[in-house]
Amino acid sequence: MIACIWLLAVTAADAAELQPRTSQAYEQYLKQATERFLSRVTEAGRPPAGRDGVLSARPASEDGIIGVPAGLVHHWAGAAYLRGATLEQVLAASCAYDAYSRIYRSVIASRLLARDGDIYRVHMRIREGEAGVTAVLDVRSSVRYVRVTDRRVYAISDATEIREVRNAGRRDEQLRPPGRDSGYLWRASTFSYFDERDDGVYLEMETLGLSRRFPPMLGWIIEPIARRLGRRSIERSLADFHAAVQARRIATSACADLVSTSGI
């Protein structure tokens, strides 16, 4: 799954720089969030199946935006049920990184850089926006899949490099140095959990990101936008993924029917 983006309504001229104390605070928060996620998906009982489609999109902690020294952590969670799908179909869609631009509306381009067993290294160009303001980011990530049982798998994606793109798609396009940009997104991680049932696959997703603080005097305007975008981003990602899995399942079923009919 992709790492979601939280856009701050600041101009490109409002440069910000990621400070060591901010990075350390995020790493500590990420460590605790990872431990809670792993404890839940490897030890907890299996939640009941729900209706088909997106089940929830909500803050994963507090109101979804947590203050840290000179920065903000954005932490959101969501769940979906993919009725009629199998775990292998869902994993095939999740690992189809070269096709992410056709799956997710926010992904402009994507490609698999390398694979080492269950670890994938991926590059994506992502565009997100709200209220007429748009950010384009180049994100390199490492994604690790772990099979808990034959019917349960989780994945953890960590961004290894995030670079803001200025004048994306133009001849004067520029990649700004990591951590020295407008502060839209400095760090990002995504936790995904897939649990196969008799009639489908239950999916949970958490997204974490680190950004600059809201500019003084504008926080009361920007914070509701950022919170709305965080919730909408995870909800849209789940909906896009659900649609992609359903399309893949229907195509596979149609192919199977054709093979059966032809007698091959």
The CATH number given to whatever domain includes residue 124 is 3.30.530.20
Domain-located, residue 49: no
Q: How far apart are the first and last CA of the chain?
A: 36
Q: What is the pLDDT of residue 240?
A: 95
Domain assignment of residue 98, yes or no: yes
pLDDT at 155: 96
For 19, residues 6+ apart whose C-beta sits below 8 A from its C-beta are 69, 70, 71
Q: Does residue 120 fall inside a structural domain? A: yes
Q: What is the pLDDT, as a whole number, of residue 10?
A: 44
Residue span of the structural domain in which 39 resides:
16-44+55-255
Residue 262: the pLDDT is 41
DSSP state, residue 18: -
Helix (H, G, I), strand (E, B) or coil at 203: strand
What radius of gyration do the chain's Cα atoms show? 19
| In contact, 220 and 55? CB cutoff 8 Å | no
Q: How far apart are CA 209 and CA 108, in angstroms?
A: 19
Can you tell me the distance from the alpha carbon of 215 to that of 12, in angstroms, rounded to the nearest whole number? 13
Q: What is the pLDDT along the chain (264 residues), one digit of tens a residue?
A: 444 434 443 443 457 889 999 999 999 999 999 999 999 888 756 666 678 889 999 999 998 999 999 999 999 999 999 999 999 999 999 999 999 999 999 999 999 999 999 999 999 999 876 555 578 999 999 999 999 999 999 999 999 999 999 888 888 888 898 988 888 899 999 999 999 998 999 999 999 999 988 766 665 566 777 778 888 889 999 999 999 998 876 555 443 444 444 443
- pTM for the whole thing? 0.86
Q: Is 264 inside any structural domain?
A: no
Distance CA(89)–CA(256), nearest Å, equals 14
Which DSSP helix (H) or strand (E) runs through 164? strand 152-166
Residue 11 lies in a domain: no
Residue 50 within a domain: no
Q: pLDDT value at position 226?
A: 76
Give how many domains the chain has, as a whole number.
Answer: 1
Give a yes or no: residue 163 inside a domain.
Answer: yes
Residue 186 to residue 29: CA distance in whole angstroms: 14
Residue 5 lies in a domain: no
Q: Which two tokens stand for residue 210?
A: 């680190």
